[in-house]
Amino acid sequence: MLDTASRTAYSDDHEAFRGTVRKVFAEHMTPYLDRHEEEGIVGREAWKALGEAGMLCPTVAEENGGLGLDFGFNCVVTEELAYLGSSAGFTLQNDITANYFERLGTDEQRAKYLPGMVSGDVITAIAMTEPGAGSDLQGIRTTATLEGDHWVVNGSKTYITNGQNADCVIVVAKTDPSQGAKGTSLILVDAGTPGFERGRNLDKIGQHSADTSELFFQDCRVPRDNLLGQEGRGFIHLMEELPQERLSIAVGAQAGAQRAFDETVAFVKDRKAFGRTVIEFQNTKFVLADLKAKLQVGWAHLDWAITRHLQGKLTTDEASAAKLWHTELQWECCDTGLQLHGGAGYMNEYPIARLWRDARVQRIYGGTSEIMKEVVGRAI
């Protein structure tokens, strides 16, 4: 269990909410973690349970069916989910897509999607990455051509979180390929629309419980009103959301790092080698001391970043630095923790194995560590 006694980013209301989150996860997530991993997806019953508890899209305004809470409540859900060791796609909906709908959507779009996103009846995804375009979103090739009162979408996307579950996908497409990034727009495509097909649920190294899919669009016609935000400003809309998206990843990374550390401490205190517990070896103590110091710094920095974001001051380069630092720390804690488990760490029956597998992609999605360094470097 995360120790939150010394946290500075949260109020008593946040911590009371954390108690609810833990109870809901204990009932609706913890008993089914292995099943979620085996099936490669988290069923809608879990989404509904979270929705009923107010754990989906907490920041959505009351007039749109939400609770109108601050982003700190999202962070509580993200921390507890990461510490639990689940890769369910709740945080994508909470921290990323909900904001797109609420900030950019028309009254009709908000009324159509947001109440269901809050209740768990509507699951969303955002389709940015393509087989030939990852961190460089300016290289996307999917197009949306206006024909009368419809957009005709053609192209493919890959590595899309919630791809199998999604009822609505925000598709990043070129509406004017001649304009480069300035010709990019966001188009809403509902499940069941002719020409929209889901590919396979991708076979990943880790994060097996997150349904991650290929999506295909072939002459997929959607109403002209399915434009989200302004035509030609899709790239700008994406950039405006980056601080919160990257902070969200940093939040989960720090909690995941702590879980890996805690699992490792428990293991080395129990496992014996050469007549004494592994924790008694000086190397073990020094390695863990180094990680503990970094975790201490990490929690302090994370609270700073969350508070700064709540104040509306967190910049893109600050969020990128946070994403870089915390995901690298998560990997260090997971990889070092697995090493201290010895052969047991390579066995899937030990939680450290899942934590290690799931952590690897954190340094890739949302912008690779290398891209984060580029973003931070440009701001210097």
Q: Half-sphere exposure of residue 65, counting CA atoms within 13 Å on the CB side?
A: 23
CB 93 within 8 A of CB 56: yes
CB 68 within 8 A of CB 61: yes
349 catalytically annotated: no
CB 237 within 8 A of CB 172: no
DSSP assignment of 288-330: HHHHHHHHHHHHHHHHHHHHHHHTT---HHHHHHHHHHHHHHH
* CA gap 181, 236 in Å, rounded: 8
The values of phi and psi at residue 45, to 5°, are: -65, -35
CB 26 within 8 A of CB 49: no
CB 184 within 8 A of CB 174: yes
CA-to-CA dists, residue 376 to 18, 66, 294, angstroms = 32, 34, 21
Q: What number of residues does the chain have?
A: 380
The three-point CA angle 77-124-152 to 5° equals 160
* CA gap 338, 356 in Å, rounded: 7
Residue 117 DSSP SS3:
helix
Q: For the chain, give me the number of helices (H) and strands (E)?
A: 12, 10
* CA gap 117, 149 in Å, rounded: 27
Max CA-CA distance within the chain?
79
| CB proximity list for 20: less than 8 A, separation 6 or greater | 53, 54, 55
β partners of residue 297: none
Catalytic pick among 214, 241, 245, 318 = 245
* CA gap 281, 299 in Å, rounded: 27
**Which residue numbers are catalytic?**
245
